[in-house]
Structure 1
């Protein structure tokens, strides 16, 4: 008797709806999904046309984005009662094939992550480009976020006040470089969409946060110096809470794992009522990225700065189905 297929059209639709909700640099959504029904595998491929040659020449940020989408696929499969078997970079002869997800059967009690709130958080999570309140995040929640990163094969370091100021200074230096680099500014602006546009990717103008008049938190260039799109200036929070996500190695597979860890951390934060955003400017310059590494850790390879706290929900950005 033929076994019923675990991967069918309805299942693929549910999986993709979760996958494309993952964050991606400039909302480029640099992934492609291809179901292989014969082999019961959902392939996750890169989208070469959605790269950022200046901002992300090594495609590391693209891999982080795809890794986040893969983590959502894991959660969606578990939510459907299926056990996902995920292989990262499964075929060395196909560098564009970044992951293969096979549903192998009903999931068991030991499958992780098991928190049902994480799947619900997929739809709730949005990048917030607005100020957070000054309310400190309780240590148990920070510990949960740290544990989530570790469970996915990465590390999350939450710096003290001096460490936070150091990371913000590096971020400000990176922003200054970006503002002095016309080609990078032009590349960023190509991913800003105007109101009324039905393009399912990019950053809608309406989703951009207000300018940071006091420069207390350097935000992305597209939230600052855009003379054609002037916005009211407001202060961001005085006490910034940051997490530095890093891995002990810096290979392509580590970038994918870091992306999975990133999404695990973001969803854990969202499920606990936090808002999040990114300060990635320093990661876009090799020397500044190296400078964000933890002192005394020779194998610390930073990937992303996560800003977290309490505040308003972020605006939704459009999504396609890859």
Structure 2
């Protein structure tokens, strides 16, 4: 017997929490469907929101959808519902990424998830300078454990490895700037909020952050080859704190696990007062991505590089209305 009320208003609220997840270029490449009779959500990709130049394998799309899936699980747990999640339930329908059944007798209860709910709306990507304050070992351990609970590994980069990774990021940034198709694609997902109607997706200019004047911090510049009027310059960290997120495999199910792990790490970081941004440039180039592997273990596939530290959380970026991404059926 179901003990929790689950009406359409709550269903929409759960999805509203889910779609606050980060996604590549804030493309928000997800579709949700909820079946009342089975109390089941399905999560699928939205092919119209693919980013074929920078993400030809759709790995990045899967990461974003995985992050939204984690948020859905957190929101459901906070509302008092057990969840039973199945990844890639139909091998003949690759666009169908996951099903989440609520209050199934076999449903899983993760005691830590409800406590992350408040961080869902507080988490924002920050492309602003952080301080040089070091993240305590206790917090690093909490972030590492958060990734492990979703089947991924978070590794803070050692000094020597960090320098190698910083060089790779610079190379990748150069590759992107020289690639006309990628530059045009990125430009298509940036929004000049000073002119025209506001958009509900993409990266608005106010979220670009300042241009880097000094420091070795890797911050993706969404202005690309273009100039944003009146944009400030700022000094970034000299010793950025970077971490890589990886999984043992590199298949769609691994990408979804990595996306869930990424969002869980970000929510724990937000709860601990730690801000974050992404350095995805070398992950988008196969020859550079391979070199990102941990030099000690030499194993695992890197899906994301995270810059973590203490500083502004960054501004809220737009989201598509729930009614555009959710279908409710009988």
TM-score by length of 2: 0.92
1:157 shift after superposition: 0.6
1:239 equivalent to 2:244? Answer no
* Structure 2 match to 1:118: 116
Q: Deviations over 1:8-58 (max 9, x none)?
A: 312211210110010001100000111122322111110001011100000
- Comparing 6-15 with 30-39, greater Cα deviation is found at 6-15
1:7 shift after superposition: 4.3
* Structure 1 match to 2:143: 145
* Structure 2 match to 1:100: 99
Separation in 2, partners of 1:74, 1:267: 13
Sort the Cα spacing of 1:41 and 1:54 in 2 relative to 1 into closer, same or farther, 3 A: same
* Structure 2 match to 1:268: 268
1:93 shift after superposition: 1.8
* Structure 2 match to 1:30: 29
* Structure 2 match to 1:73: 72
**May I ask how many residue pairs the two structures share in their alignment?**
320
Q: Deviations over 1:252-300 (max 9, x none)?
A: 0000000000001000100000100000100000010001011253531
Separation in 2, partners of 1:202, 1:116: 29
1:63 shift after superposition: 0.3
Q: Is the 8 A contact 2:258 2:303 kept in 1?
A: yes
Separation in 2, partners of 1:253, 1:32: 18
Separation in 1, partners of 2:126, 2:55: 22
Separation in 2, partners of 1:113, 1:180: 48
Q: Is the 8 A contact 2:17 2:72 kept in 1?
A: yes
1:306 shift after superposition: 0.7
Sort the Cα spacing of 1:11 and 1:142 in 2 relative to 1 into closer, same or farther, 3 A: same
Give the unaligned 5+ runs of structure 1: none
> Superposition pairs for residues 183-262 of structure 1, below 5 Å?
183-195=181-193, 197-214=197-214, 216-223=216-223, 225-227=225-227, 229=229, 231-262=231-262
For the residue of structure 2 that corresponds to 1:213, the secondary structure is strand
Q: Deviations over 1:223-261 (max 9, x none)?
A: 454235462222111110011000000010000000000
Separation in 2, partners of 1:100, 1:146: 26
Q: Is the 8 A contact 1:282 1:288 kept in 2?
A: yes
* Structure 2 match to 1:172: 170
* Structure 1 match to 2:12: 13
Separation in 1, partners of 2:219, 2:164: 15
1:100 shift after superposition: 0.7
1:112 shift after superposition: 1.6
Separation in 2, partners of 1:163, 1:223: 28
Separation in 2, partners of 1:148, 1:212: 31
Separation in 1, partners of 2:310, 2:298: 33
Q: Is the 8 A contact 1:175 1:218 kept in 2?
A: no
For the residue of structure 2 that corresponds to 1:127, the secondary structure is coil
TM-score by length of 1: 0.94
Sort the Cα spacing of 1:273 and 1:4 in 2 relative to 1 into closer, same or farther, 3 A: closer
Separation in 2, partners of 1:83, 1:3: 11
Q: Deviations over 1:290-318 (max 9, x none)?
A: 01011253531000001000001211100
Aligned CA RMSD, in angstroms, stands at 2.0
* Structure 2 match to 1:181: 179
Separation in 1, partners of 2:23, 2:78: 23
